[in-house]
Structure 1
């Protein structure tokens, strides 16, 4: 393996994080697809111009992310390098959209609260400013790896128990059904890309400089009344978005 340009020692980003980022990019680019595993630590140390202790710290971080696994007799095996695709359509559903690409898809409720609707949320939900809304924060996981984090707002007058149902079912779709709404439609989705902030890096175990895809969406019932507005951030190296009719 040819030696690469050495990592930057005075960049403000630790060497092991820089190496983890470079290895992650190489995996995504398919560099190790033929063997399905990374080179030995001493080869990686030579490649990046660091000692093996630094390389092992980078590999431990990638293992914590679920990207690689150290297997006795097989070296460091790549187990999570593929990028999944979430279709964005009139009936966008996190679990259904990713379910056939993974063994397990799950969401976890992190926080929920009732509060007066901020002006932007009130406008999106077409309710009067300061009317009560339920705010829910979630994290999404695919095969145990964190891939997204999101905020959702629901009209509290219509869905006072939505947070409880989300916690019980792990699904906004099933929570809506429990609240008497069996179906709903995606009205609009706006997508942008940017660097992850500190909270997003913490929730999705991202490195400094990681990119997230942010969607801002409105869902309505079948009569066109808004039932939720949401802001979801996806790890760009784990999830791609595909717009469908």
Structure 2
């Protein structure tokens, strides 16, 4: 059976002049609105939707892409499609802490260290931390999650040798704030933030479990200790379908 057959199947009306993919998208959207498919729930596969609606996979795929483009679902390569979760407000102020922000949303914060390495300071990193180009700095890449859902990837840069104990601290607990406190910086303030957006790399899309056609929000932030010395230059990428940045005043 093809899309052009005249008999309606599974609620589709081939005679009303509305594209079939739009009708399929509307049916799935209605199920989400009625609570039949809850946030985070896995959706049927393309093959299952094809059988349900009696159309070809191209039509189902177009409907799913439409829903994803509107932020109603998220498509994860190799994992399937899921109902989009509620968008989190993520405040950026002078004292931003990931765990505190996530708990404000009644969710449980989690973190996973992706990699730790020593790199040569270049460009924005050297300028922000106030070190000469080519000097070694510690880079920590960390995945931040809310209720096990990926929210942000943070690439943190710490001046050496001041924070040479950071890897050992993070091995005990994957919290940047806790590790900084263990290294003698119990409090720090954000001095500056720059926010942009771009398309994700393949690794970023995989870690954030989002499609590469959906942009990420990018922030560059410099954190300083109470004496004004730079302690952490962070380059963060946020899943734009799950986070909206809220810039707070003093």
TM-score by length of 2: 0.73
Q: Deviations over 1:201-223 (max 9, x none)?
A: 11112113011100011000111
Map residues 59-70 of structure 1 onto 2, 5 A cutoff.
Answer: 68=82
Could you say what secondary structure the match of 2:33 adopts? coil
Is the counterpart of residue 110 in structure 1 residue 114 in structure 2?
Answer: yes
TM-superposed CA distance for 1:139, in Å, is: 0.9
- Give the structure 2 partner of residue 158 of structure 1: 162
Is the counterpart of residue 50 in structure 1 residue 56 in structure 2?
Answer: yes
CA contact (8 A) 2:221 2:235 kept: yes
Give the Cα–Cα distance (whole angstroms) in 2 for the partners of residues 174 and 167 of structure 1.
11
Structure 1 pair 119/190, CA: closer, same or farther in 2 (3 Å)?
Answer: closer
Q: Deviations over 1:6-62 (max 9, x none)?
A: 67xxxxxxxxxxx9xx79xx86xx97233342898899547794359x78xx89966
Structure 1 pair 40/228, CA: closer, same or farther in 2 (3 Å)?
Answer: closer
CA contact (8 A) 1:102 1:143 kept: no
Structure 1 pair 226/43, CA: closer, same or farther in 2 (3 Å)?
Answer: same
Is the counterpart of residue 138 in structure 1 residue 142 in structure 2?
Answer: yes
Structure 1 pair 101/65, CA: closer, same or farther in 2 (3 Å)?
Answer: farther
Give the Cα–Cα distance (whole angstroms) in 1 for the partners of residues 54 and 162 of structure 2.
57
Could you say what secondary structure the match of 1:32 adopts? helix
CA contact (8 A) 2:151 2:243 kept: yes
- Give the structure 2 partner of residue 10 of structure 1: none
Is the counterpart of residue 33 in structure 1 residue 1 in structure 2?
Answer: no
Give the Cα–Cα distance (whole angstroms) in 1 for the partners of residues 219 and 106 of structure 2.
22
TM-score by length of 1: 0.74
Could you say what secondary structure the match of 2:158 adopts? strand
Structure 1 pair 138/127, CA: closer, same or farther in 2 (3 Å)?
Answer: same
Query: For structure 1, which runs of at least 5 residues remain unmatched after alignment?
Result: 8-18, 69-77
CA contact (8 A) 1:219 1:228 kept: yes
Query: For structure 2, which runs of at least 5 residues remain unmatched after alignment?
Result: 1-10, 65-72
- Give the structure 1 partner of residue 216 of structure 2: 212
CA contact (8 A) 2:76 2:209 kept: no
TM-superposed CA distance for 1:131, in Å, is: 2.1
Structure 1 pair 66/235, CA: closer, same or farther in 2 (3 Å)?
Answer: farther
Is the counterpart of residue 187 in structure 1 residue 191 in structure 2?
Answer: yes
TM-superposed CA distance for 1:113, in Å, is: 1.2
Give the Cα–Cα distance (whole angstroms) in 2 for the partners of residues 121 and 193 of structure 1.
19
Structure 1 pair 114/62, CA: closer, same or farther in 2 (3 Å)?
Answer: closer
Which stretch of structure 1 is more off in the superposition, 189-198 or 32-41? 32-41
Cα RMSD after superposing both structures: 3.5
